[in-house]
């Protein structure tokens, strides 16, 4: 206990020294000091650092903040041009600078036992003091202003980074495309060079072959012009084909060429092209000739039958038993109400028959069976207004007034165009919709609906009585809707 007291006392002395230069240390007992220290320690209030030192030159302000009891890894710095804050719990250092500084060129060094701030001045002037003499409200205003400005700068910097990143990404894509184009061009040039080299080699081989064939074959002598007479011309021995042709065709007379130079001329033969044989090509040809291809697949028809499924979700083995039990219970419930679509005969799949069946259920008091019959008839044909009108009456009998309203509205929409043949049906639907509105508490709208029904059936005493009752109820409670 004594050690704890000594430590806390030392902390309190430090607080008093930081606060007003030992002015509070005198006149306070140890017990009082101890309890004050305990209160301050557990209240998480920061301890303001006042034992810092500062110095200045013409261009720089140097601030030294001690960091003895705290690790330098736990120091949070918030430097701005007019306000600097350093938090190393439980200590707090903040200063409102006398003049603005260039925070971008300033430096901060955090050592093991010292925080060094070198702040660069905007103007080469000597400061009278390090910070301004401000009130608490002015300090709060400066803190708020600095915080908002730093948030805006951070937001703008983030947006600039995003823009710069997008530009760099586009530039990288462009550079990659250029590199790909260069590589493609280089590959194309190399391929063209190899192709040209191969073609040149092939042309040289062809010219050399032609020269060899010309050297071995007898040279054909062209006839000199007619004016060069007296020159001896050597006639080549005719070939076998030419001999055969000469036997069949008589020799030409010397009507065109003079007798002294009359002779047979032969045209030079074209060089025989010797095909180039490749062992690899010949091997592939032999393999292709020996290859046995599989038989073609026989065509056939594949019939796919989809299993009908009641549920919209995919079938799963883990839920098969639950689904079957649910379907069984639903079927039993429908049979209990007197109607199930699976039990109907083919001739009973008629919406008019469903209407008659529903009317029969309604007269016998089986309202659930009537709703099932009307609903099945609507699924077969949703253009019969009588199905919706009769189902609305069944919903009204069961107290489903919202569903009654919907069915009445649908029946009235289907009774178009309005004519004398559907006047009574429209009046009944309007009266039933007015009754449902009255049951739901909308008396004002119900009175309007009932008056519209009364215009269609002006001699109906029931409608007149309902209008009178509704108006009386509206007078007693006009704010019911």
Where are the domains positioned within the chain?
1-45, 56-136, 341-476
Residue 83 in tokens: 């306000």
Contact 391, 367 (CB under 8 A): no
CATH topology of domain 341-476: 1.25.40
Spatial CA neighbour of 109 closest among 155, 154, 62: 62
**For all residues of the chain together, what is the average pLDDT?**
77
- Using alpha carbons, select from 81, 127, 82, 125 the residue that is nearest to residue 104: 81
CA distance 141 to 85: 15
- Strands 47-48, 91-96: parallel, antiparallel or unpaired by DSSP? parallel
CATH top-level class for 56-136?
mainly beta
Contact 59, 120 (CB under 8 A): yes
Place of tokens 């803190």: 143
Mind listing the pLDDT tens digit of every residue in the chain (481 residues)? 333 333 333 333 344 333 334 444 445 566 765 666 555 555 567 788 878 888 888 888 888 888 766 665 678 888 888 888 887 777 888 888 888 888 888 888 887 778 888 888 888 888 888 888 888 888 888 888 888 888 888 889 899 999 999 899 989 998 999 998 999 999 999 999 999 999 999 888 888 887 776 665 444 444 444 444 444 554 555 555 555 545 554 444 444 444 444 444 455 566 666 666 778 888 888 888 888 888 888 888 888 887 778 788 888 889 989 988 988 888 787 676 665 666 666 667 788 888 998 999 999 999 998 998 899 889 888 889 999 999 999 999 999 999 999 999 999 999 988 888 889 999 999 999 999 999 998 888 999 999 999 999 888 899 889 889 888 888 887 755 5
Neighbours of 372 (CB within 10 A): 24
Do 56-136 and 341-476 agree at the fold level?
no
If we measure between CA atoms, which residue out of 331, 412, 333, 409 comes closest to residue 368? 333
CA atoms within 13 A on the CB side of 450: 23
- Rg (Cα) of the chain, in Å, rounded? 56
* Dihedral angle, C-alpha 187, 188, 192, 195, nearest 10 °: 60
Written as six digits, the tokens of 37 are: 């220290």
Note the pLDDT of residue 398.
93
Q: What pLDDT sits at residue 216? A: 53
């Amino acid at each position: 206990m004594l050690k704890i007291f000594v430590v806390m006392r030392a902390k309190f002395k430090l607080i008093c020294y930081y606060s007003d230069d030992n002015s509070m240390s005198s006149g306070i007992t140890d017990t009082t000091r101890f309890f004050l220290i305990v209160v301050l320690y557990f209240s998480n209030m920061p301890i303001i650092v006042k034992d810092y030192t500062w110095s200045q030159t013409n261009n720089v302000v140097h601030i030294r903040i001690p960091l003895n009891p705290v690790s330098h890894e736990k120091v949070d710095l918030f430097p701005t041009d007019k306000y600097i804050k350093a938090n190393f719990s439980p200590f707090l250092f903040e200063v409102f600078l006398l003049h603005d500084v260039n925070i971008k060129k300033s430096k901060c060094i955090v050592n093991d036992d010292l925080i060094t701030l070198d702040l660069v001045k905007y103007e080469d002037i000597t400061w009278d003091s390090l910070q301004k003499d401000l009130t608490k409200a002015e300090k709060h205003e400066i803190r708020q202003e600095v915080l908002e400005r730093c948030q805006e700068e951070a937001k703008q910097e983030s947006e600039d980074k995003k823009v710069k990143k997008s530009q760099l990404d586009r530039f990288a894509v462009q550079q990659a495309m250029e590199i790909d184009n260069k590589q493609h061009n280089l590959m194309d040039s190399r391929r063209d060079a190899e192709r040209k080299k191969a073609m040149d080699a092939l042309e040289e081989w062809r010219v050399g072959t032609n020269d060899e064939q010309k050297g071995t074959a007898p040279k054909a002598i062209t006839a000199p012009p007619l004016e060069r007479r007296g020159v001896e011309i050597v006639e080549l021995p005719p070939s076998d084909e030419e001999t055969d042709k000469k036997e069949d065709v008589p020799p030409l007379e010397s009507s065109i060429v003079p007798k002294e130079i009359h002779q047979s001329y032969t045209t030079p033969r074209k060089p025989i092209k010797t095909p180039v044989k490749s062992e690899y090509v010949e091997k592939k040809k032999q393999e292709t000739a020996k290859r046995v291809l599989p038989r073609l697949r026989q065509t056939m028809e594949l019939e796919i039958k989809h299993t009908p499924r009641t549920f919209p979700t995919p079938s799963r083995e883990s839920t098969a038993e639950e689904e079957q039990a649910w379907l069984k219970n639903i079927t039993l419930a429908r049979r209990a109400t007197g109607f199930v679509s699976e039990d109907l005969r083919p001739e009973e799949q008629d919406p008019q028959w469903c209407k008659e069946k529903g009317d029969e259920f309604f007269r016998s008091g089986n309202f659930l069976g009537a709703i099932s019959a009307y609903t099945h008839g609507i699924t077969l044909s949703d253009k019969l207004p009588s199905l919706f009108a009769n189902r609305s009456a069944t919903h009204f009998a069961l107290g489903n007034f919202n569903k009654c309203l919907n069915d009445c509205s649908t029946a009235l929409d289907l009774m178009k165009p309005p004519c004398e043949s559907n006047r009574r049906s429209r009046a009944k639907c309007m009266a039933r919709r007015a009754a449902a509105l009255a049951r739901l508490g909308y008396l004002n709208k119900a009175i309007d609906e009932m008056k519209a029904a009364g215009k269609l059936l002006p001699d109906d005493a029931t409608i007149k009585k309902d209008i009178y009752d509704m108006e009386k109820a509206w007078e007693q409670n006009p704010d019911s809707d």
